[in-house]
Amino acid sequence: MMNKLCFTLMTALTLMSCNQRENPLLTESTAPFGAPEFSQIKSTDYLPAFEEGFKQQKAEFDNIADNTEKPTFANTIDALEASGKLLNKVSGIFYNVNETDADEIMKETEKKVSTMATEHNAYMTMNNKLFLRIKKLYDNKTNLGLTREQEMVLDKYYRRFVRGGALLNEEQKKQLVEIDKELSLATIQFGDNSLAETNAFTLLVDNKEDLSGLPDDVLTAARERAEAAGKKGWLFTLQKPSWEPFLKYADNRELRKQMYLAYTHRGDNNNTNDNKAVIKKILDLRLQKAKLFGYNNFAEYQLEDKMAKTPQAAYDMLIEIWKPALAKAKEERADLQKLMNESGVEGKLEAWDWWYYAEKLRQLRYALDEAHLKPYFSLENVRKGVFMVANKLYGISFKPLRVAGNVTKDTEIKESVPDVYHPEVSCFEVLDSNGKHLALYYTDYFPRSTKRAGAWMNNIYDAAHVGDIDQDPMIVNVCNFTPPTSDTPSLLNIDEARTLFHEFGHATHGFLTKCKYPSVSGTSVARDFVELPSQIMEHWAVEPEVMKQYAVHYKTGETIPDSLIAKMQAASSFNTGFETTELVAASLLDLEFHMQGDYSQFEANAFEKSVADKLGLIPEIAFRYRGTYFNHIFSGGYAAGYYSYLWAEVLDADGFEAFKESGNVLNEEIGRRFRTNILEMGGSEEPMELYRRFRGTEPNPEALLKGRGLK
């Protein structure tokens, strides 16, 4: 009996030992290139990995601060840049997956980690011994023999510590930590509410007659969407590939109105996901933070180290664009009103009519039907096109390692290649002209209920070559494009094709960096400079010479005909009054939100209306993003910075002129110059310095107005 009991206990212990698994986030990856082993990671692995990562980096901070040797760049800044290896790894993986495929465990982890991260950042920036080491270097930087990159890194650390509270008194430091904790949680809540609101609305139509005007591919996607939801009929959602064609093509005016109002009232429905009170809380907390540092408002605090430097400079630039854009939008409104009334619809043009009649007018004026264009822009061909452009300009190539097929089907699986976090994700190796490995590049293109709206680029791992770290970048592009159906591949509209090129431009900034320090590598640049590589890339998407090399009919293999290209060019400035007005309006709204010095009487909708009235925004056009779903500024990194898209457009429009002036938009010499002076340099020098080196002069804003057909 005793022997049997011992045997049973030993067996149980052995089984327990066998069932114990190591947290894959706490071990070195065995995948090629050290890539994340996504399929091995469980949602419950993240929190303990974060806890260990914070613990390890705190110990590294202590070692640097307690070093009795005289501060040097190597034993202080290099050491800081090399610290947090585990934390950076866990953060890169977690925040990428959390934006695309979060479950409830990850959402709760995010909230816990946000508080931990605030305390962790304060632990570093409010460590007086550590700050004094940095300050001694900063005060003596001209005598240290630093490279320009090292100077920029040192400047960045000094600013980070000052903005982190190093010069505040003890009471103010406590206030700052509490403000940052509340801010972090509030921005998470805003994003969660926005996602919930987007997913909450569906429009199920069971009478096909109510869907007249919609193209066959849109109807097929809606029918398959309904089938996937276990419903009969046609299902439409607030995902862009669903709502946008509905507003463009649906003849049923009442249904267009229903879809438009649902889209523009996200976060403004007086329910549990309402964001109006969250906006007020975020703005008030940001103002408190700015005032701790002696600024009048958050916009002043935010723009001090950007290219614009002041809110007024950004505001003035926007107003210069606003005036001609609004004037053109009013002309467009008159044309659409006339068309609507001539077509037999009485009354006034409404906001939910604009997309519909603009599409009708475009077809009338230019005989350009989007349905005739899309077959030439299959996602696969557009991606081939952007790879071709990158190869011509920068000499790089892309080796497919794992390619996702028709959404969840036909996925090519290889055991010897990097893992992916979802079956729809593809992975490529980026190679330089000499065959040298540069980076891993992941793409994730289609909407999911777990994925936030929009399109973006993330660094899964930053480039870092300091201390014992020798890490090449791993970059991901995430989008929400029109997915394939059962009988057609993913066919993109022109806006989607440009978006693919745009996000790829961000990716090139990430994987072509030659910076040694992660603080300035890749996209770690001023916010109003970061959009230059992405926006300049958009130009190639619609250049005739380039389209002839990638825009091929998915069925026939026919290259896009010259007649279609001519129509595209003729219509290139069509509706740009509308497009520019809604964009500039949102940029001005963002600045107005953050230029206030008191929010005691603030109410989001009333404030938004006052801004619209002040600008003279016509009621047929809404802000591109109303406050209640303006994720860029309330749950992203663009607070008081949405103007950056237009600021950078001054640069990208002027920069692309260099290629046009040469007579060859794929000019290799100019492409290499852009790579060398912009993409490889990251934030290692002042942005305008880099731009002048590439272009030979400062940018001319006339190119923007010309490009948008406003001059």
State how far the Cα of 414 lies from the Cα of 692, in Å rounded to an integer.
45
Could you read off the pLDDT of 652-672 as tens digits, one per residue?
A: 999 999 999 999 999 999 999
Could you read off the pLDDT of 390-428 as tens digits, one per residue?
A: 999 999 999 999 988 543 334 454 556 789 999 999 999
Asked if 153 and 464 count as a contact pair (C-beta separation under 8 A), the reply is no
Report the half-sphere exposure of 546 (CA within 13 A, side-chain side). Answer: 30
Q: Which among 81, 429, 503, 531 is annotated as catalytic?
A: 503
pLDDT of residue 415: 53
pLDDT of residue 514: 97
What is the end-to-end Cα distance of the chain in Å, rounded? 96
State how far the Cα of 255 lies from the Cα of 4, in Å rounded to an integer.
74
Within 10 angstroms of residue 4's Cβ, the number of other Cβ atoms is 8
Per cent of the chain over pLDDT 90 is: 92
What's the mean pLDDT when you consider all of the chain? 94
pLDDT of residue 405: 59
**Where exactly are the structural domains of the chain?**
32-193, 201-264, 374-502+539-570
Residues near 27 by Cβ (< 8 Å), separated by ≥ 6?
Answer: none
Closest listed residue to residue 591, CA positions, set 671, 526, 645 = 645
State how far the Cα of 580 lies from the Cα of 586, in Å rounded to an integer.
10
Residue 575 DSSP one-character state: T
pLDDT at 630 over 60: yes
State how far the Cα of 535 lies from the Cα of 499, in Å rounded to an integer.
9
Residue that wins the pLDDT comparison between 524 and 406: 524
pLDDT of residue 18: 42
pTM of structure = 0.93
Could you read off the pLDDT of 206-241 as tens digits, one per residue?
A: 999 999 999 999 999 999 999 999 999 999 999 999
| Structural tokens at position 280 | 């007020």
State how far the Cα of 494 lies from the Cα of 500, in Å rounded to an integer.
10
Lowest model confidence (mean pLDDT) among 8-12, 339-343, 564-568: 8-12
3-state secondary structure 654-701: HHHHHHHHHCCCCCHHHHHHHHHHHHCCCCCCCHHHHHHHHHCCCCCC
| Structural tokens at position 428 | 């490529």
Provide the strand spans (E) within 116-260: 202-205, 234-237
Span 642-652, average pLDDT: 96
pLDDT of residue 21: 83
657 carries an active-site annotation: no
State how far the Cα of 406 lies from the Cα of 424, in Å rounded to an integer.
8
pLDDT at 583 over 80: yes
Lowest model confidence (mean pLDDT) among 29-33, 258-262, 348-352, 432-436: 29-33
Give me the residue label for tokens 């190119």.
703
pLDDT of residue 701: 87
CATH 1.10.390.10 applies to domain 32-193: no
CATH class of the domain whose range is 374-502+539-570: mainly alpha
Q: Quick one: 132 exposed, middle or buried, by C-beta within 10 A (0-12, 13-18, 19+)?
A: middle
What's the Rg (C-alpha) of the chain?
26
Asked if 110 and 98 count as a contact pair (C-beta separation under 8 A), the reply is yes
Give me the residue label for tokens 């009996």.
1
Q: What share of the chain is helix, strand, coil (3-state, %, to 5)?
A: 60, 5, 35
State how far the Cα of 708 lies from the Cα of 704, in Å rounded to an integer.
6
Asked if 56 and 87 count as a contact pair (C-beta separation under 8 A), the reply is yes
State how far the Cα of 557 lies from the Cα of 501, in Å rounded to an integer.
22
pLDDT at 172 over 80: yes
State how far the Cα of 687 lies from the Cα of 603, in Å rounded to an integer.
37
| Structural tokens at position 157 | 């650390």
Q: How far is CA 546 from CA 128, 534, 657, in A?
A: 56, 17, 16
Closest listed residue to residue 700, CA positions, set 663, 660, 670 = 660
Residue that wins the pLDDT comparison between 415 and 257: 257
Let me know if the fold of 32-193 is the same as that of 374-502+539-570.
yes
pLDDT tier for residue 512 given thresholds of 50, 70 and 90: very high
pLDDT of residue 495: 95
679-699 per-residue burial string, b: 16 or more CB within 10 A, e: under 16 = bbbbbbbebeebbeebbeeeb
Q: Give the β-pairing of 474-478 and 437-444.
A: parallel
* Size of the chain, expressed as the number of residues it contains: 711
174-190 per-residue burial string, b: 16 or more CB within 10 A, e: under 16 = ebbbebbbbbbbbbbbb
| Structural tokens at position 79 | 């050491």
Per cent of the chain over pLDDT 70 is: 96
pLDDT tier for residue 19 given thresholds of 50, 70 and 90: low
